Amino acid sequence: MIAVDDLIALVRNYNPKTNEKLIREAYDYGLAMHEGQFRQSGEPYFMHPVAVAAILTEQRLDDATIITALLHDTIEDTKASYSEVEQKFGREIADLVDGVTKLTNLQLSSTETQQAENFRKLLMAMSKDLRVILVKLADRLHNMRTIKAMRPEKQAKKARETMDIFAPLAGRMGMQWMREELEDLSFRVLNPEGRASILRRFITLQKESGDVVERITSDMRAEFDKAGIEAVVFGRAKKPYSIWRKMQEKNMGFSRLSDIYGFRVLTETEDECYRALGVIHQRWRAVPGRFKDYISQPKSNGYRSIHTTVSGRDGKRVEVQIRTRQMHDVAETGVAAHWSYRDGVRSENPFAVDPVKWISTLTEQFNAEEDHDEFLEAVKLEMYSDKVFCFTPKGEVVKLPKGATPIDFAYAIHTRIGNACVGAKIDGMRVPLWSRVKNGQSVEIITAEGQTPQATWLEIATTGKAKTAIRRALREVDRSRFIKLGRELARSAFDHVGKKATDKALETAARHLRLDGRDDLLARLGSAELTAREVVHSVYPDLAEGESDQIDTTRAVVGISADQSFTRARCCQPLPGERIVGIKVRGQGVMVHSIDCAALADFEDQPERWLDLHWHAGKHPPIHTATLDLTIGNDAGVLGRICTLIGEQKANISDLQFKDRKPDFYRLLVDVDLRDAEHLHSVMSALEAESDVAAIERHRDPSRVTDANA
């Protein structure tokens, strides 16, 4: 838990004139009120309000907001009352704490009618003082960061509520960094396997193409230097959820996505923003339709920036945002920039939006709505600006991504409706199926018995649900033909490696590829959704890789004579690719150690026993054992996923030993057979990307040193 002096230091960094005495009193009061209360993780409860306050210091918020964070659960969860908080800390803080309490009591994930009323209350609370929602967002962010302690069903409920309401609200307020983190934390809970797969693919991409971010950043800096523009450039890979959403919306695999990196350029003046844009477009090719100028046309929350997407020589697209430093401050904190402090005074940022005006424009249209359903629809249309809400002829609301077509609408209602679709009407007018639906439109789907999906629909549909259903229907139509073709492809591929495509081999391949049996495998193979190499590799990975060029294990080390044998020291477990030395051992040949092995200190006074060695260059077989020290979550299926991940990296587990068992975590030592140091890096990188792996490091045990003093 952050100590009060450390918290005050965080505030003093941006506000030297802070009321330290009042913050200290609020800290002590909150600590006393929450005395004896604990979080589900077993930690003292008061650590949560303190962590929320620390999050708000990152946005350089005023003392009242920081104190509200420290007290935000006192009225709800302790014997403290509104009048007592008002007496000790003043009416402003008491009203803020009371506002957060009322927000906390809203059941935002309830039925549609109740949700509409709760949205109305949420906006009313925001309209009184926007700092209430800032504290609530920070509260939700910390709860999501520590969600592991909750029961799985509670985690899923909180994550869904965060994804549906709090993350879009943070984005609507201009706090894009918070939206991205809330989405990613929710994604980790709702689809941990999807998130881990994205991270693993990033690791593979970085190994194949190097540090793309550093390379492009350096190129941009060089271009700006030549043009005489003073600019700060930094880039990063986009968040896993952002990439996953794009994959689902475009129904594209990771390898086909191009703009997975984003770059920001910060200049001193607005004029330099446009000059920087010109430099970038001269150096890289602009992607048509991907340019937006939010400097000349700012967003309602004060956001200003130029957005463009460019592609390099390798065809990779990158998104570039160009803005001044003052614009960047607002882009990072959104509407909260109004309360930001710098050097003890309110930051006079000309781009910061007046929160009163912002919230009034947001609520003005809603106040006129009397019908709850219409009100909720208006709220959602405003909050989810990247979504399209349209209606069925019966008035039911269908939510679709921007750019969706009547085909997407039909499949959103029901797969049967989509498969039988022959036409569509929008607002009563017959339209082509490739038309784009817009907010508020009424869409009617025309169906016909006997109709089946057309292959051209795949180019029309935009949602993953529609594309998946279309492919499934098309696959069923030609299933028998694809199965026959797939069998021939499988026979040829297995013959190529000297094996037979037996029913048992095909069933094994289907199981490894998580498909519904042999026929499903053959149908996908015949329709080119799988390659023959993938099928063979799933059953015979070694044959698919090719083992003929591997180095002879007895000659893997260079530097020993033909009549000498060598052994890898168990204390340091050296791997091919690492620097090594040898110690001559009577009767045992040569003991090979890593150059940094602690056991080598025992031989410093025996230089005659040392040999200068190195590993033979080339491909080594996966027989070199290294021990990994893993701490993993104690949840169903976690250990199985860890073993599967190691297997996917073509590494074999030769031993597994549990060292510590706790209610929430296991610590274990895993012996893995590897090719070389690069193979070790691949395995550890894949495990680090797994959300249920809390810690991982290579384990070396000096007590296992082989007796080399003989």
CA 558, chain centre distance (Å) = 44
Contact status, residue 267 vs residue 230, Cβ threshold 8 Å: yes
Alpha-carbon gap, residue 299 to 482, rounded angstroms = 51
| Two tokens, residue 350 | 């000309």
| Two tokens, residue 480 | 């028998």
Q: Which residues contact 404 (CB under 8 A, 6 or more apart)?
A: 388, 436, 437, 462, 463
Provide the residue type at 180 as one letter: E
Nearest to 210 by CA among 297, 123, 316, 122: 316
Write the CA distances from 157 to 38, 107, 154, integer angstroms.
21, 11, 5
For the chain, how are helix, strand and coil distributed in percent, rounded to 5?
50, 20, 30
Nearest to 318 by CA among 266, 294, 283: 283
Which residues are catalytically annotated?
76-77
The phi, psi pair for 413, rounded to 5°, reads -75, -55
Strands 610-615 and 665-674: unpaired
Provide the residue type at 352 as one letter: A
Q: 38: which DSSP letter?
A: B
Output 557-561 pairs: Cβ under 8 A, ≥24 positions apart: 557/582, 557/590, 557/592, 557/613, 557/614, 557/615, 557/616, 558/613, 558/614, 558/615, 558/616, 559/611, 559/612, 559/613, 559/614, 560/589, 560/590, 560/611, 560/613
Helical H segments across 58-211, by residue range? 63-71, 74-77, 82-89, 91-104, 112-128, 131-145, 152-161, 167-172, 176-190, 192-209
Contact status, residue 317 vs residue 259, Cβ threshold 8 Å: yes
Alpha-carbon gap, residue 524 to 476, rounded angstroms = 11
Alpha-carbon gap, residue 225 to 27, rounded angstroms = 49
**Beta pairing partners, 444:** 425
Residue with tokens 């918020």: 61
Supply the DSSP string of 585-602, one letter for each residue.
ETTTEEEEEETT-GGGGG
> What's the number of CA atoms in the CB half-sphere (13 Å) around residue 555?
7
To 5 degrees, how large is the angle CA 240–CA 246–CA 248? 100
Alpha-carbon gap, residue 19 to 21, rounded angstroms = 6
Phi-psi region at 67: left, alpha or beta (left = phi > 0; alpha = psi -120 to 50) = alpha
- Cβ burial 636-660 (10 Å sphere, 16+ → b, else e): eebbebbeebbeebbbeeeeeeeee
Alpha-carbon gap, residue 339 to 60, rounded angstroms = 8
Output 225-234 pairs: Cβ under 8 A, ≥24 positions apart: 227/275, 227/279, 229/267, 229/272, 229/275, 229/276, 229/279, 230/267, 230/268, 230/272, 231/265, 231/266, 231/267, 231/272, 231/276, 232/265, 232/266, 233/263, 233/264, 233/265, 233/266, 234/263, 234/264
Nearest to 421 by CA among 454, 374, 458: 454
